[in-house]
Amino acid sequence: MLVLPLFFVVLLWYLIICIKWKKNIFDVLEKIPGPKWYPFIGTYHLFRGVSREEIFYKFGEVVGQYAPLFRSWNGSVGEVHLMKPDHLQIVLKSSVHIIKGPLYKYLFPWLGEGVFISEGAKWFLQRKFLTSSFHFKILDSFTETFADKGLSFVKKLESKANGTYFDIVPDSAVCTLGVICELAMGVPLEQITDNPLRHIKNVYEMTELVIWRYWNPLVKDPFFYLLPQGRRYTKILKELDDFSNKVIQIKRTQRLNTSKRDSMVGAESGKKNNLSFLDIIMDAKEKYGTVTNSDLRGLMNTFLLAGYETTAITISWAIFHLGNSPEIQQKAYEELQRVVKGKRVPTTMEELHQLKFLECIIKETLRLYPVLPLITRELTEDIQIENYTVPAGTQAVLHLFGVQRDPEHFPEPNKFDPDRFLPENLKDRHPFCYVPFSAGPRNCLGMRFALLELKALLASVISHYKITSMVTPEEIKFFAHVMIRSQNGIHVKIEKRDLVA
């Protein structure tokens, strides 16, 4: 007898929620131009029947129709798309709108409440103690490792300097994974696995499954885990966790076998040895109890993801454009020879800083292919964008890929032109038209680390090889992933240079 009254109570409660949603969210957001909304699926009907390879281009059509400001719906969740510097500035500078959007919740089982996803006091605390690990004095101590890894990268490529084209992305990924394991984890990659490409493949598949879930808003937990995609997600998650747990186990063994004096102070010299990022996290866990075991694994997985994949793709795109621009490549090589004065690679921070044109090449690469082409924020308060009110609860989708190719700020926006970043060309440029590492309170912690790593590794390749790309930029077919990828890889051929004695 209680079932029927309970049913009506639940129904009434649901209707009240729907009425409030329609009045406070839907009616307000629908004043912004955008594609037609349908119940349950929102505006994702636009992508029905569109192949995974064509999503990038279909999305581009939608953006082209409604840019620079429009709204869409992921089911009942409203999204406002922003692609003008003034609009991005409103969100990114805010200390209020710092909660990541719903896409990131699908990463939670893997990344946990690491600094990439965490919120509130936990995010603030993690950010605070991790910031010290990116101090310039610590980064200065990394230059030797960067140089060693650059030479290892060059040596690995040697067997491919045979006049044939090959995909540079896997080799770049193995190299940058080795860098992040050694510098961020304090554990050489060789001690963790003898098959790094398996881990790289798992990371790629995991992020691809996360994107699949986002593009299928009707697939909710726990039904997702009953599907083939869900079972694959579970299997890959276990393998990724096994990789992380092995790193943690090795690091704990290291710490047990190394006295506190030996790990922090050189014998009798008083010289401090730099701790890895993982050491800093473990110290916080052991001394202050501010990091749980789950936080530890989440932070480490975050470093592994953000620290190798983004740099690997950026290096690959830079090599691709150098292979299409012989004059730019030669100019970078000549600068390098002037700076290193006969050495094979730069080995000091001062030398890396002197590579100004190479830095312009990297910045131009990041303009065309930002670390994340889109980022999202959950608006916790109403904001005003031009004549529109965007209500709290809306997801702000910030188009870094679009804003950094805006012809108003970058003439001939699809052209690879490092001179855009020469000092004389930076005057009066809007501070938020170029934000490849995001900006504001949630900007990328590892930005300086990444730029130094990119510079060191690219310098190693340029000093040893002449690069030729197989296709032109106009022939590349993009693939929408966590980062912008090529559907068919990035194929180049390399020719050994005559090294200066």
Binding-site sequence positions for heme: 444
Distance CA(456)–CA(164), nearest Å, equals 25
DSSP of 444-490: -TTHHHHHHHHHHHHHHHHHHEEEEESS-GGG--EEESSSEEETT--
Distance CA(341)–CA(122), nearest Å, equals 47
CA 127 to chain centre: 17
Q: Which residues are annotated as a binding site?
A: 444
Strands 395-399 and 77-82: parallel
Show the tokens assigned to 474: 């106009």
CB distance 379 to 82 below 8 Å: no
Classify burial at 290, counting beta carbons within 10 Å of its beta carbon; exposed 0-12, middle 13-18, buried 19 or more. Answer: middle
Look at residues 102, 294, 111 and name the one whose alpha carbon lies nearest to residue 206.
111
CB distance 499 to 464 below 8 Å: yes
DSSP of 366-435: HHHS-SSSEEEEE-SS-EEETTEEE-TTPEEEEEHHHHTT-TTTSSSTTS--GGGGSGGG-TT--TTS--
Distance CA(204)–CA(195), nearest Å, equals 15
CB distance 401 to 60 below 8 Å: no
Distance CA(316)–CA(467), nearest Å, equals 12
Strands 465-469 and 383-385: unpaired
Look at residues 45, 413, 459 and name the one whose alpha carbon lies nearest to residue 215.
45
Helix (H, G, I), strand (E, B) or coil at 201: helix
Q: How many CA atoms lie within 13 A of 375 on its CB side?
A: 24
Contacts of 96 (CB under 8 A, 6+ apart): 380, 381
Show the tokens assigned to 4: 């029927």
CB distance 63 to 81 below 8 Å: yes
